[in-house]
């Protein structure tokens, strides 16, 4: 389980954008995992199982700190990123932009895109980790990537060359 700690921390940090909270979430998840290790049926899926526990811890944290009874609401729920200015100054502009864009996604979309792109889970694995249908995984991923592409267009070397529709507010 300790081998998974750095990956769990990266995932938790990409969700909450707060180092000490990421520490707490990972510790909480590993503690719960140790207590319920007997429930793990397949050792090969250990990391996915741990990610599922981490997601539960994260959702519990959101519930306890916000007026949000239904976790399904997190798809539309935005959490303000809490990065430290000192650390942010040290990051390159691109890295900062990408992290900000990911952090600005609704929580449900942020979870899916990080599980697919950071953890390289299959859609079925993401569905199992978050306990949502695969169709929801795909739709959240699609919305997340469309938003990210729009936000990060200037950094995207493979940008679509077709004309863009001007956004009118």
Partner 1 sequence: MNREISDELLNAFADNELDGTEKAELLERIAADAGLRAKVCETWHLKELVRSAHPLPGKNRGAKRKPRFRDRFGLPLAACLLLAIGGGSGWLAHDEYDELWIPAPQLKTIQAQGNRVILHLVSGDAAEIEKALRQAEQLATVRDKAGGIVQVELVANGNGIRMLQAGNAQLAARLATMRQQHDNLRLVACNEAMDRLRERGVDVTLLPNVDVVPSAIEEIATRLNQGWRYLQV
Task: Name which of 36 and 142 has its Cβ closer to partner 1.
Answer: 142
Q: Is the CB of residue 46 less than 8 Å from the CB of residue 120?
A: no
**DSSP code at position 169:** -
| Contact status, residue 47 vs residue 126, Cβ threshold 8 Å | no
Exposure of 16 by Cβ count < 10 A (0-12 exposed, 13-18 middle, 19+ buried)?
buried
- CB nearer partner 1, residue 37 or residue 66: 37
Task: Compare residues 14 and 29 and give the one whose CB is closer to partner 1.
Answer: 14
List interacting residues with partner 1 (CB under 8 A): 2-3, 5-7, 9-10, 13-14, 94-95, 98-99, 102, 113-114, 116-118, 122-123, 138-139, 141-142, 145-146, 148-149, 152, 155-162
CB of 103 to partner 1, least distance (A): 11
């Amino acid at each position: 389980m300790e081998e998974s700690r750095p990956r769990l921390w990266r995932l938790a940090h990409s969700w909450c954008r707060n180092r000490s909270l990421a520490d707490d979430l990972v510790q909480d998840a590993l503690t719960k995992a140790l207590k319920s290790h007997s429930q793990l049926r397949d050792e090969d899926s250990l990391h996915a199982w741990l990610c599922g526990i981490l997601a539960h811890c994260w959702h519990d944290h959101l519930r306890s700190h916000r007026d949000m009874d239904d976790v399904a609401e997190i798809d539309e729920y935005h959490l303000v990123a809490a990065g430290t200015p000192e650390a942010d100054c040290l990051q390159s502009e691109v890295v900062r932009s990408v992290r900000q864009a990911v952090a600005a996604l609704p929580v449900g979309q942020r979870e899916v895109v990080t599980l697919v792109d950071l953890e390289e889970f299959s859609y079925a694995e993401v569905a199992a980790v978050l306990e949502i249908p695969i169709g929801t995984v795909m739709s959240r991923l699609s919305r997340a990537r469309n938003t990210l592409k729009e936000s990060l267009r200037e950094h995207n070397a493979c940008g679509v060359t077709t004309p863009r529709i001007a956004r009118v507010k």
